[in-house]
Structure 1
Amino acid sequence: MITGLALIFRLLIGRCSLVFGASIVQDRDLSEYIPSQSSTSKQLSCSHRLCDTGPNCKNPNQSCPYSINYYTESTSSSGLLVEDIIHLASGGDDTLNTSVKAPVIIGCGMKQSGGYLDGVAPDGLLGLGLQEISVPSFLAKAGLIQNSFSMCFNEDDSGRIFFGDQGPATQQSAPFLKLNGNYTTYIVGVEVCCVGASCLKQSSFSALVDSGTSFTFLPDDVFEMIAEEFDTQVNASRSSFEGYSWKYCYKTSSQDLPKIPSLRLIFPQNNSFLVQNHVFMIYGIQGVIGFCLAIQPADGDIGTIGQNFMTGYRVVFDRENLKLGWSRGDEGDGKTLPLTPSGTPRNPLPTNEQQSTPGGHAVSPAVAVNAPSKPSAASSQLISTRFCFLKWVLPLYLLHRVVSAS
């Protein structure tokens, strides 16, 4: 889910190399993407209408470059844009085990810095935001899916994504909010925060829902209110642990775990979100030795709801109806989505809008924002329109406040 690109891989002498990540993540079967060895790979030229940097190219026939800078320890990626085919497996009740091939834009990185050099996201990042060059935008524009997708996060840090999923009818929801007058990213408004049975006054805030951030950041005043109330209710001694930056940490043991206060977010129309994973357990040789409130203060007025808050839920990014939906991960409607979207979406895909994230959390890349207007040949295939990844496990690595703006 990264700003402006469908996928980002590393490029090393004509290939998207995994050299930096392979030495760090040894338990995963990583492979390189080599554009020259793909029969469906096409380099985007500077004259291509999707190449936003085209006017800066010396030659309109040269390959289209991209460059992205993040606010995560000077992390950046730059390289060339390539179009290729992504293979997705159909989901739901489909017993035919069919799949779909859909064109996407790939960014092959020639130069990386910051977290990439430390092995962050060694198998790449997936663009899932509102920008038209993102993967769900391509799929929706091609008529393959409803303009929506869902994500499920498990406690073991694995996850699954379903394109076209609008969630069960019983799910709760909250509307997306505009930023600078436009729907440019996934922002929601929280009306009240409750710790245990205590609902805190003046605890409303807006937050970017960002699956690419491992933990949650809240505006400083809201963070302090929640943390102080949590500290009041928890029956454990404050402590600190080397290597952990959280402010509110506590000593405990596997034999003497205290009752941890619950945390609940209340959205408009009294829609409630009970956070399942708001503490981080710290382990020693003998088991649990402590825990921390896994929230940090954010710079600016807009927070970030990260992956830890989403754990245990089926989180739906309904771009067609401009709302966030959620239900417990084991809930479902047991239905297969319709074969093709019916009618015109009430809220069509945004056009010609460069995406941005609030409060300077991330920088939009210099890439194009228009998606193909004509459906691809894949749209004629008779398949269920709820798709999940055929090969990739959803990357759940920390890349601070980057991924929701695409």
Structure 2
Amino acid sequence: MCISLLLLLLLVSLASQSCNGLNSFGFDIHHRFSDPVKGIMEIDMLPQKGTSEYYVAMAHRDRIFRGRRLAGDHQTPLTFAAGNSTYEIANFGFLHFANVSVGTPALSFLVALDTGSNLFWLPCNCTSCVKGLKASNGEVIPFNIYDLKGSSTGQNVLCGNSLCEEQSQCPSSSDTCPYQVNYLSNGTSTTGFLVEDVLHLITDDDQAKDSNTPITFGCGQNQTGAFLDGAAPNGLLGLGMRNVSVPSILANQGLTSNIFSMCFGSDGYGRITFGDNGSLDQGKTPFNLMASDPTYNISITQLIVGGNVADIEFHAIFDSGTSFTSLKDPPYIQITQSFDSLIKLKRNSSSDLPFEYCYDISPNQKIEVPTLNLTMKSGDNYFVIDPIVTVTGEDAGLLCLAIMNSDDVNIIGQNFMTGYRVTFDRENMFLGWKESNCYDDELSNLPINRSHSPAVSPALAVNPEATSNPSNDPPNHSFQIKPASVFMMASFLILAIL
């Protein structure tokens, strides 16, 4: 079995939905632990949502990585040639993945998607990388490894290129541009050189015409640390603000407006769309820009927890690659202590979960959870639809406020984006948001379903197979309490993709 068969299974089952707006790219997102993915993949080692293992694993991943569409009317929308669906699979660090095709002949890669990073990189004739997935029966499902010499449309990016950010490491402007990205986790990095090759797209209409677009990306020869343990093992697609990111390149080539959106459904389903301006009635707030390090940073001016109102201004980064929101003091103290004073539950301070404010609950118990609203700098309110997690046991369980305390940076994580389509408008420099179920643009104003289905029993385990090869040869490479498992915990490290 090869990676193409794995992708075919996923792409047939998680069928793509067409883009109805013009001048847009679109593809679906599925959470790694969502029922659609678990039902299709039948992957072992997937914790049931609502168990402590699920939330511990999600926090572990964070610490490893820290309407209608409104588009232009003069171009046909485009999608990835290999399919519109994105999804998450076992032991891949809880990141969202897309299947993208690069090069001539085209090769498919499972790349992680993240708004906190910029560079698109792929494993490339690597001396140290993940070579594939190991199934429970011992069979290895190999990943594709990019080879510049194997693509007739590929070429080196020289040091004189404006996208080369390591020009100081170049002897001359005619040399190949090197790159190195070091992550906050000890020993985690990717190193290689920049290349340009075609990203295969098609028009999203009945004709499905090819549209091969040149993209600059990193040829990752050496991956270390978390990248060898399942975090973005087959590449990473940056969605940040720098010119080297894929949204920036597509916009600079005039293929789409400099905007994209991500939708996060309550059931784990989602969607990402390039060129999506969002809805006319969406909430908005401006970005805070730092020229040296532009990120999706916004200002929050007021916190409302239940009836408690506090005027506290702080900055936070909207990071789709972080599972749980992480806040510094004083906003962390204000939210958690207000929540604690309002919720009529017994606090469980002995919980080993990564959340400080957890409470004992019993099966079928009716609970009134305090509401949480963030007032943005613009004055628009951002209602946090899903600020809690529930952990189930045989006879009892826990309810936790899913916010972690941070020492350095405020991050609005994926859990605070649940139930919204979030628009990253880089042309007008604002963040937009509107409640959405993520399934149908015309039905995006339907009520949000906050219940979660029980997990599907797993049957097949797959694990990343890393290789360190000193030779030049390419490696093979609504809230509901349900009974579940007993509590377990594991240690975790922190690395943010910022």
| 2:279 aligned partner | 168
Q: 1:175, 1:322 within 8 Å by CA — same for their partners in 2?
A: yes
Closer/same/farther in 2, CA of residues 176 and 48 from structure 1, 3 Å limit: closer
Amino acid at match of 1:305: I
Amino acid at match of 2:283: Q
Secondary structure of residue in 1 paired with 2:433: strand
Identical counterparts, % of pairs: 36
Structure 2, unmatched stretches of 5+, are 1-113, 443-492
Return the offset for 1:23.
4.1
Q: 1:222 aligns with which of 306, 331, 334?
A: 331
Secondary structure of residue in 1 paired with 2:247: helix
Deviation string 1:162-186 (CA, Å, 9 cap, x unpaired) is 111110111110011133x678221
Is 1:152 the counterpart of 2:263? The answer is: yes
Q: 2:126, 2:222 within 8 Å by CA — same for their partners in 1?
A: no
Q: 2:159, 2:167 within 8 Å by CA — same for their partners in 1?
A: yes
Q: 2:188 aligns with which of 59, 71, 75?
A: 75
User: After TM superposition, which residue ranges in structure 1, 4 or more long, deviate above 6 angstroms?
Assistant: none
Q: 2:241 aligns with which of 112, 124, 130?
A: 130
| 1:9 aligned partner | 122
Q: 1:177, 1:189 within 8 Å by CA — same for their partners in 2?
A: yes
Secondary structure of residue in 2 paired with 1:189: strand
| 2:101 aligned partner | none
Q: 1:325 aligns with which of 421, 425, 432?
A: 432
Amino acid at match of 2:317: L
Amino acid at match of 1:37: G
Cα separation, 2, equivalents of 1:118 and 1:141: 35
| 1:231 aligned partner | 340
Q: 1:272 aligns with which of 381, 391, 396?
A: 381
Deviation string 1:61-110 (CA, Å, 9 cap, x unpaired) is 5542211112234432212222122234556xx45445633222221322
Amino acid at match of 2:243: E
Q: 1:236, 1:252 within 8 Å by CA — same for their partners in 2?
A: yes
Aligned residues, how many?
A: 333
* 39-48 vs 163-172, which moves further: 39-48
| 2:496 aligned partner | 401
Secondary structure of residue in 2 paired with 1:238: coil
Return the offset for 1:11.
3.4
Query: How large is the RMSD of aligned CA atoms in angstroms?
Result: 3.3
Return the offset for 1:224.
0.6
Amino acid at match of 1:34: Y
| 2:294 aligned partner | 184
- Aligned runs of 1:231-250 on 2, under 5 Å? 231-240=340-349, 244-250=353-359
Is 1:57 the counterpart of 2:176? The answer is: no
Secondary structure of residue in 2 paired with 1:120: coil
Cα separation, 1, equivalents of 2:120 and 2:369: 39
Secondary structure of residue in 1 paired with 2:248: helix
Q: 1:251 aligns with which of 340, 343, 360?
A: 360
Cα separation, 1, equivalents of 2:325 and 2:186: 17
Cα separation, 2, equivalents of 1:123 and 1:137: 22
| 1:311 aligned partner | 418
* 150-159 vs 255-264, which moves further: 150-159
Return the offset for 1:271.
0.7
Secondary structure of residue in 1 paired with 2:330: helix
Amino acid at match of 1:210: D
Cα separation, 2, equivalents of 1:190 and 1:24: 46
Q: 2:287, 2:429 within 8 Å by CA — same for their partners in 1?
A: yes
Closer/same/farther in 2, CA of residues 115 and 241 from structure 1, 3 Å limit: farther
Q: 1:152, 1:314 within 8 Å by CA — same for their partners in 2?
A: yes
Is 1:143 the counterpart of 2:254? The answer is: yes
Q: 1:77, 1:109 within 8 Å by CA — same for their partners in 2?
A: yes
Secondary structure of residue in 2 paired with 1:309: helix
- Aligned runs of 1:250-399 on 2, under 5 Å? 250-284=359-393, 286=394, 289-300=397-408, 302-330=409-437
Scaled by the length of structure 1, what TM-score is found? 0.72
Closer/same/farther in 2, CA of residues 308 and 233 from structure 1, 3 Å limit: same
Return the offset for 1:157.
4.1
Cα separation, 1, equivalents of 2:351 and 2:117: 37
